[in-house]
Structure 1
Amino acid sequence: MTENTASPAPRRLEPGNTAPEFTLQDQDGRPVSLRDSAGKSTIVYFYPAAATPGCTAQACDFRDSLASLTAAGYRVLGISPDPIGKIIRFAQKESLTFPLLSDEDHAVAEAYGAWGEKKNYGKTYEGLIRSTVVVGPDGRVTHAQYNVKATGHVARLRRTLGLED
């Protein structure tokens, strides 16, 4: 009998789950925690790598929608496994004014089910799965989306949240 040594599939969050608490450093050197959002809804989105075409498009879409998301009571947090220096350069270059957080050991991504097996060009590896989790004011997940496409994601999310343009 052979033993399966493959990594188990990540535990994905579902609506109603309590969102895992975290504190990570942002591009301004400040610690940012989920609990800082108490009383507000929070959009936590996970992106694989700063300054890549898809991640740039997605971050700029969030930037361009930030005023309306904020007006609707949402806070936006972007999380990647990039080192803080790369995140700082990305935020400055793209004029990103919402917190981008460094999760180098991918512990937060794992807790949110956004780290796991990926396939690209026939290769299988572990990495960040582009994902978005919306956390309500009570700390519970209201929406969880995994393997999202970067382009057009914010518009689709806005429709899901009932924030039509």
Structure 2
Amino acid sequence: MLEIGTKAPDFSLPDQDGVMHTLSEYKGQKVILYFYPKDNTKGCTTQACNFAELYPQIQEKGAIVLGVSKDSIKSHKNFKEKYHLPFTLLSDPEVKVIDAYGVWQEKKMYGRTYMGIVRSTYLIDEEGIIVKAFEKVKAKDNPEQMLEVL
């Protein structure tokens, strides 16, 4: 995880439509940048749908939501359309941004050790500074938690 008070690493990633996005283009807005393991899985769907439900309130507080996983552009497009997600999903199949934010870590499941995304969320202020960082968040509760810290 990156330290609170540090500048968030800029990035250039394609969204679900293949359009490139950089963190610097959101200067002047608060950004909820959340990293999740995989489209269309139970926890990730719950988290995304809860962010979607709270999105109008998040926008009222001057923030936007960006979701990042290593899934493909096509997978993101299907996920976004299936659940009518009102925010942008960014594709990082090379794990460069995921790694830069410190969320690509060793995980264990059923006695097996592997590398994967630890569900984590950052709140980045209007100047690109990390003001909140949450690691190993609960998918169901994280969107409400982020709305509260806004």
- Specify if TM > 0.5: yes
- 1:13 lines up with 2:2 in the alignment: yes
Paired residues for 1:13-162 under 5 Å:
13-161=2-150
How many angstroms apart in 2 are the aligned matches of 1:14 and 1:57? 27
Q: Deviations over 1:1-46 (max 9, x none)?
A: xxxxxxxxxxx21210110000111112211111111111100000
Deviations 1:113-134 (A, max 9, x none): 1111111122111011100011
Aligned length: 150
Alpha-carbon deviation of 1:153?
1.3
Structure 2: tracts of 5 or more residues without a match:
none
| 1:158 positional shift | 2.0
Counterpart-to-counterpart distance in 1, 2:149 and 2:109:
28
Aligned partners of 1:75, 1:33: CA distance in 2, in Å? 13
Radius of gyration: which is bigger? 1
Q: Once the 2 structures are TM-superposed, how far is the Cα of residue 91 of structure 1 from its aligned partner? A: 0.6
Q: What percent identity do the matched residue pairs reach? A: 42
What residue identity is the alignment partner of 1:126? Answer: M
Q: Hey, what's the Cα distance between the residues in 2 that align with 1:58 and 1:102?
A: 17
Q: TM-score, normalised by structure 1?
A: 0.88
Distance of 2:145 and 2:32 partners within structure 1: 13
- Given residue 65 of structure 2, which amino acid in structure 1 is its aligned partner? V
Aligned-residue RMSD, C-alpha: 0.9
Unaligned runs of 5+ in 1: 1-11
> Matched residues in 1 for 2:117 and 2:137: separation?
12
What is the TM-score with the length of structure 2 in the denominator?
Answer: 0.96
